[in-house]
Amino acid sequence: MSLSSPIAYEDAASRIFGAALVDGRAWEKLAFLCDRIGPRLSGSPQLERAVRWSAERMRLDGADKVWTEPVMVPHWIRGFERARIESPIDWRMELLALGGSVATPAGGVYGAVVEVVDLDELSALGDSVRGKIVLFNRAIVSGFDGENGYGSASGLRVDGPSAAARQGAIATLIRSLGTANFRLAHTGALRYADDAPRIPAAAISAEDAELIHRLIASGSIVRVRLELGCQTLPDAESANVLAELTGRERPDEIVLIAAHLDSWDVGQGAHDDGAGCAMVMETMALLARLETRPRRTIRAVLFTNEENGARGGRDYAARHGDDRHVVALETDSGAGPPIGFGVSAGPGGVEWVRQIADRLAVIGADQVAPRGGGADIGPLEEFGVPLMSLMQDPTHYFDWHHTHADTLDKVDRAALDRNVAALAVMTFALAERESTVPRPEPARIDR
Amino acid sequence: MSLSSPIAYEDAASRIFGAALVDGRAWEKLAFLCDRIGPRLSGSPQLERAVRWSAERMRLDGADKVWTEPVMVPHWIRGFERARIESPIDWRMELLALGGSVATPAGGVYGAVVEVVDLDELSALGDSVRGKIVLFNRAIVSGFDGENGYGSASGLRVDGPSAAARQGAIATLIRSLGTANFRLAHTGALRYADDAPRIPAAAISAEDAELIHRLIASGSIVRVRLELGCQTLPDAESANVLAELTGRERPDEIVLIAAHLDSWDVGQGAHDDGAGCAMVMETMALLARLETRPRRTIRAVLFTNEENGARGGRDYAARHGDDRHVVALETDSGAGPPIGFGVSAGPGGVEWVRQIADRLAVIGADQVAPRGGGADIGPLEEFGVPLMSLMQDPTHYFDWHHTHADTLDKVDRAALDRNVAALAVMTFALAERESTVPRPEPARIDR
């Protein structure tokens, strides 16, 4: 059998699908990453262990080439953290500093809380927030998008601290961006603007935000003390992990599949995005077992530093933007049952993907949304690369996302295997079929 | 209008029902207890504040007599607590010491973990647990009873520490008795036996128990360090709070309605049992507004120290066991929608209650179970008192019970008002109707 022998497409696709469902080893990979390595914040030894382990694992699983590419990443550490309502009652809040937050001065910051639901309301308050602690108190519902989904409030977390600081606030709190209330704080990144003082910022549990709301609504001035001991150390060396199955006929055409290896420093990073890494690694293992390589090169990238810097994605685009990517597909929305694919491509892109996804209806993965991508592969957009995502049922994702509760026990093994089946079949189709997803036109008609 | 004038039963019952649903103030009472007083562990100043507040509130709401009866209660405080897996990985666990636990020595206790699912499995291990930490790892499902309900595992928490200590264990951990996994530890009482060394004991989150299970299942010896700084101080003075509406015709016949004022020291004690206190207090307020008093005396008791000693209930029975209680009814299963009543009484008791409950079908509170009571009123059983409970939908109760997440935001105001309606109508019926619930026969045919 020669590497250049033709491949029976339908037969191979069926075998990949069956192997993923019957013989999938994604859960074992994820279990190792979660239980034996643990959370993997940029700068941590755990992340570097994950880099070495995943590279070695992909080598053992039969990739033709495996290598790492060094990336300097932010090195923020959490340290001590405490928040209390000190007046009109004494109440210890559950909190997590936002990633990148500055520390508080010794003794913390102390002030009255001003509650707002969005940046407009904050802006309207003008200087009246000076010397105060701003609480962004906006509840979200399940899902990434939509009027009250995660995306409707994540801007408060990212840009709220600087917006409040410009108006003189001394700190910000945000009601955790979560969809299950169990005294869980949800961390996440903030972005300090250059034109604003850097003030400390933390997420508090939904219950604590509700309590502050009730106390204020019943006429009290609520005073809070916030103490954060976080630190930003000099940038640390990390790496993107790359592995390839070299294309049989067109080795210079690259089908990129991706997830991110880093996580927040709480929980196990099981859903965000250990599961995606396991899906990508297992897809590579399954496709490596085909008797011939698919037509195009399949390149897996496990990105570093998605969570608090996106340096991995930017480094990759800088190094590889001019590689001949025919498509880039990221999976970074958890381990829920697969529901289909998102695709940002040229005219006919959705239809191209639908042809493949239709065959995945038996596992429920046949939706095709006219928008795809991911934080790490986003920088490839300017190179004209069609961007895709594997979509999971988002119902519970934001129950656990960025919390101490993002742990392996919540990953359903069968759903994980179905994700691998969907990803492996789609990856094979993208790499093997004569045609592939149309590239976006400059006007991006299909987005 | 004279206190001895007859009362139009049906009309009054309808007005009580309507007032509870339309004009209920239970939520305001519960909000004060939760938000302005907070958690109320025996020995805490918060509990004593709750004693004073609830007595004053019932006075203002029109009770004929309000008084407190001093009770000496255990005074256990939590202090510092930490548990880590130190081998084969480093992992901080979420824990809560069990109420009454002894502290660990300085530096904690450190040992290999032995996992068991019940006391039989522990017993079979004999001396092999010597020097080790026993983990009771048994998952429960919603509900108080049933094969895998709360009651199926609470004995592990109560009696497990001494059972393990008799076999030489140095500490016990228990998988939290909870039905939602969000890295929440659920505390609760233990009971040290006189014939066993007192070893420290804590509850860990379900996720941490699952992690230990997976590590052991994959061949590792899991070593844990447990550090507890809890202390048992000298008994503190607390009190049961009693209030009465004096019976119009038979003032010496007492219809007792009860809940418990104390809570654990985490969360706000909203469901356990702030909600029950609010229901009882609001029932008293509603019945105080009738133009005449019901036939019999209604006595509300807000018990102290249900959670970690049951001293309030025992003190009451010692003082008042010989009072002429026609019935005692406790509400201590949360703030879920009311589903009906439990009753332990003589023959015909269930039917008697069903006559009243049938009228509550419109709010879903028409189930009648042939078993009722509560921890605080349980000691009245030996005095031949029919025991009843108001039952709430238990679906979510053990999601939050004994955790930091037992907070007011989870209490549905309408469901709380429906509970008050059910309790107030039943209390009125028990106090006003010529007949009342049959007393148990010695053989307790109806239990």
Q: For residues B310 and B289, give the distance between their C-alpha atoms in angstroms, rounded to a whole number.
A: 32
Dihedral sign for Cα A29, A34, A38, A42, please: positive
CA of A194, closest CA in chain B: separation in Å? 36
| Residue of A84, A213, A409, A411 to mutate, interface with B, max B Cβ within 10 Å | A409
Helices and strands of chain B, counted as H and E runs? 11, 16
Mutate to test the interface with A, among B182, B266, B397 (most CBs of A within 10 A): B182
Residues of A in contact with B35 (CB under 8 A): 89, 211, 214-215, 218
Residues of B in contact with A218 (CB under 8 A): 31, 35
pLDDT score at B8: 85
Q: Tell me which residue in B36, B180, B407 faces A89 most closely, judged by beta carbons.
A: B36
Q: Sheet harboring B387-392: ordered strands across?
A: B65-77, B231-245, B296-303, B250-260, B324-330, B387-392, B338-344, B367-369
Cα–Cα distance, A245 to A62 (Å, whole number): 8
Which residues in chain B have their CB less than 8 angstroms from residue A88's CB? 36
Contacts of B207 in chain A (CB under 8 A): 405, 407, 409
Q: Give the whole-number percent of chain B exceeding pLDDT 90.
A: 96
Nearest to A38 among B91, B182, B407 (CB): B91
Dihedral sign of CA atoms A406, A407, A410, A415 in order: positive
- In A, which residues are within 8 Å of B91 by CB distance? 38
Cross-chain Cβ contact B403/A183 below 8 Å? yes
pLDDT tops 60 at residue B159? yes
Q: What is the pLDDT of residues B338-356, one digit of tens each?
A: 999 999 999 999 999 999 9
pLDDT one digit per residue (tens) for chain A, 447 residues: 334 445 689 999 999 999 999 999 999 999 999 999 999 999 999 999 999 999 999 999 999 999 999 999 999 999 999 999 999 999 999 999 999 999 999 999 999 999 999 999 999 999 999 999 999 999 999 999 889 999 999 999 999 999 999 999 999 999 999 999 999 999 999 999 999 999 999 999 999 999 999 999 999 999 999 999 999 999 999 999 999 999 999 999 999 999 999 999 999 999 999 999 999 999 999 999 999 999 999 999 999 999 999 999 999 999 999 999 999 999 999 999 999 999 999 999 999 999 999 999 999 999 999 999 999 999 999 999 999 999 999 999 999 999 999 999 999 999 999 999 999 999 999 999 999 999 998 754 444
Nearest to B407 among A207, A218, A267 (CB): A207
User: What mean pLDDT value characterizes chain B?
Assistant: 96
pLDDT of B444 over the 50 cut: no
Q: Sheet harboring A91-93: ordered strands across?
A: A91-93, A81-87, A223-228, A109-116, A133-136, A171-175, A201-204, A95-97
A/B interface, count of CB pairs below 8 Å: 82
Residue A301, CB-side half-sphere exposure with 13 Å CA sphere = 31
Binding-site residues on chain A for chain B (CB distance < 8 A) = 31, 35-36, 38, 88-91, 94, 180-184, 206-207, 210-211, 214-215, 218, 267, 399-400, 403-405, 407-410
Residue B6 has pLDDT above 80, yes or no: no
pLDDT at A168 (0 to 100): 98
Query: B405, A211: Cβ pair inside 8 Å?
Result: no
CB nearest to A31's CB, from B181, B207, B214:
B214
Residue B447 reports pLDDT greater than 60 = no
> Nearest residue on chain B to A28, judged by CA atoms?
B218
Give the closest of A35, A88, A182 to B182, CB-based. Answer: A182
Give B218's contacts in chain A (Cβ within 8 Å): 31, 35
pLDDT band at residue B442 under the 50/70/90 scheme = confident
Which of B181, B215, B399 is the closest to A409 by Cβ? B181
Average pLDDT on B356-384 reads 97
Please report residues of A whose CB lies closer than 8 A to that of B180. Answer: 180, 182
Q: What is the pLDDT of residue A442?
A: 73
* Residues of A belonging to the active site: 306
Mutation site, B89, B207, B411, interface A, largest A CB count within 10 A: B207
**Residue A245: helix, strand or coil by DSSP?**
strand
Cβ–Cβ contacts within 10 Å for residue A129, how many? 25
B404 CB neighbours in chain A (<8 A) are 94, 183
Please determine, for residue B4, whether its predicted confidence score (pLDDT) is greater than 50: no
Using an 8 Å CB-CB cutoff, list chain B residues near A206: 409
Instruction: Specify the residue for token string 């409950």.
Output: B357
- Inter-residue long-range contacts of B44-48, CB under 8 Å, 24+ positions, other chains counted: B44/B265, B47/B238, B47/B261, B47/B262, B47/B304, B48/B238, B48/B239
Cα angle for residues B160, B276, B347 (degrees, 5° grid): 80
- Strands (E) in A78-121, as ranges, are 81-87, 91-93, 95-97, 109-116
How far does A179 lie from chain B, in Å, by closest CA? 12
Cα(A244)–Cα(A297) distance, integer angstroms:
7
Chain A closest CA to B338's CA: distance in Å?
A: 22
Per-residue model confidence as pLDDT tens digits over B14-54: 999 999 999 999 999 999 999 999 999 999 999 999 999 99
Cα B95 to the center of its chain, rounded Å: 21
Q: Do A181 and B410 touch (CB under 8 A)?
A: yes
Kindly determine whether residue B183 and residue A181, on different chains, have CB atoms separated by under 8 Å.
Answer: no
| Residue A179: closest C-alpha in chain B | B182
A114, β-bridge pairs? A134
pLDDT value for B366: 98
- Judge: A36–B89 Cβ closer than 8 Å, yes or no: yes
User: Nearest-CA distance from B405 to chain A in Å?
Assistant: 5
Where does residue A217 rank: exposed (0-12), middle (13-18), buried (19+ CB within 10 A)? exposed
ipTM: 0.95
**Bridging pattern class, strands A250-260 and A324-330:** parallel
d(CA A354, nearest CA chain B) in Å: 37
DSSP sequence for B242-282: EEEE--SSEEEEEEEEEEE----SSTT-IIIIIHHHHHHHH
Give the pLDDT of residue B45. Answer: 98
Measure B203 CA to nearest chain A CA, in Å.
16
Q: Yes or no: say if B312 and B306 are a contact pair by the CB < 8 Å rule.
A: yes
Residue of B91, B264, B268, B407 for testing the chain A interface, max A β-carbons within 10 Å: B407
In the chain, the amino acid numbered A393 is D
- Chain A CB contacts of B410 under 8 Å are 181
- B80-120 pLDDT tens trace: 999 999 999 999 999 999 999 999 999 999 999 999 999 99
Task: Work out the angle between the directed axes of helices B275-288 and B413-432 (0-180°, nearest 10).
Answer: 50
CB contact under 8 A, A409 and B267: no
